[in-house]
Structure 1
């Protein structure tokens, strides 16, 4: 399906910003993730599963996905097993999982001087680690704070939607382990589970003013969240 067809598809869904359109290739599935903030309990299983699946040392304070907890009026980033808020049962709190948004208009791709970042035919943003020189331009350009330099590999790293899994028809690790079904992943096409979920839900994207055309959508995201 061509990009213009996806624009038409998204325009047909009420309340979904038309700018949230993936870079697409003809006849290739286009993937998106939907996160229901009201379902997230801040258990951190997604963070741990991501680190294990993608070989990011669990003891390091970095992660391809992380959780921001808004507890008792304060923001807490919960991305390590030692964080005291990771299993918090605070009643006056909610949790917002974050990750690379796999933007169709990805700033990180646009600024890379060695073309180490690219879109797959499915619209997933990947890093060629053999080409990356660790200049950190992509880190500066990303409005979501989703990229980091791997301290052991010395090149940039980030969420890949578990591309090695979805190519085999499997779900991303974070989606697979979520005990409440807060994360949904699938093809962004008319009639799909993702499409229908977006169609019937109150949907937002992070930093819409950046014009990045993200492929991560949020359901029931509170306005007080620091986008």
Structure 2
């Protein structure tokens, strides 16, 4: 079984938040709810941005703690939330160390990134990936060759990855200037 993962190249991210807006537009989320968030950080006096959403963990806490069994893991590793089963208890919101599930006070249910699974099924990338003008965000099949923590070493990535084994891969690039890709 393959496990899809978001692939981040933070040194290419310019903080434009196109990924965040594309996600919001694709899923029509409520005004204050963002399934994808761009976070800022600093590393040796250098500012960087990291675009984060649900990590579709290999051992998801949301899946484990939900009393209503409102989470389902597809064969490709995408973790889906089933709103019809959700009772709004917020156990998943509290359990996720990455703050991926969000409570929507309008629907009184949790919700989260679904990896744009309908787009994937049509052979399209997630909306956030398609909207990234610099190639800082992509998707890959998880590679065990990178070990258990290929994201270790990025400042600001604080939760212990051993708990949930997030499907997230960072790639460090050579220092230098990066420009927008022409499409």
Partner of 1:131: 85
Structure 2: tracts of 5 or more residues without a match:
174-183
CA contact (8 A) 1:203 1:220 kept: no
Query: What CA deviation, in whole Å up to 9, does each residue of 1:80-129 have, x standing for no partner?
Result: xxxxxxxxxxx942111111111111111111001011211211111110
CA distance in 2 between counterparts of 1:122 and 1:188 reads 10
Q: CA deviation at 1:209?
A: 4.4
Q: Secondary structure at the match of 2:129?
A: helix
What is the aligned length?
A: 167
CA distance in 2 between counterparts of 1:132 and 1:210 reads 27
How large is the RMSD of aligned CA atoms in angstroms? 2.6
Partner of 1:44: 17
CA contact (8 A) 2:37 2:51 kept: yes
Query: What CA deviation, in whole Å up to 9, does each residue of 1:4-31 have, x standing for no partner?
Result: xxxxxxxxxxxxxxxxxxxxxxxxx431
1:35 aligns with 2:8: yes
After the TM superposition, which segments of 4 or more aligned residues of structure 1 sit over 4 Å from their partners? Answer: none
Query: 1:178 and 1:112, CA in 2 relative to 1: closer, same or farther beyond 3 A?
Result: same
Query: 1:72 and 1:123, CA in 2 relative to 1: closer, same or farther beyond 3 A?
Result: closer
The structure with the largest alpha-carbon Rg is 1
TM-score between the two structures when normalised by the length of structure 1: 0.66
Q: CA deviation at 1:155?
A: 1.0
1:159-174 to 2 correspondence within 5 Å?
A: 159-174=113-128
CA distance in 2 between counterparts of 1:110 and 1:101 reads 15
Partner of 2:36: 65
1:181 aligns with 2:181: no
CA contact (8 A) 1:33 1:217 kept: yes
